[in-house]
Amino acid sequence: MKTPPEPMLSAYLAVVREAILHARSIAHKDGAQDQIHDLMDAVHVIPELINHWGRCDEPGLRQFLMAYDKKWTKTSDDFSLVRVFESTYHEKAFPHNIPKQ
């Protein structure tokens, strides 16, 4: 069973984690049902594809993230699947560029 290399593995796991947390945080809001549906639609296949990376269409998988963002991310303050992926990927790929706290 082939899995994605780092930092891609960490980035996709972060996307799933943050999507779940975001769905939980907006679930009580009126009218959130469509957004939660789209959010889960964008990420539901990630766990399966992580375990079967050899058959994953990674650019296609990214399209799911971008489709969610196109519909629901209107400002830089809005939740973004692409931003979660890219920030985690960058953090793991270039840890020496992360400022020390």
At 39-49, the pLDDT tens digits run 999 999 999 99
Q: What angle do CA 61, 64, 70 make, to 5 degrees?
A: 145
| Rounded CA separation 35/79 (Å) | 11
For residue 96, what pLDDT is reported?
76
For residue 33, what pLDDT is reported?
97
Q: Give me the residues of the chain with pLDDT under 50, please.
A: none
From the list 42, 27, 30, 46, the residue with the least C-alpha distance to 72 is: 42
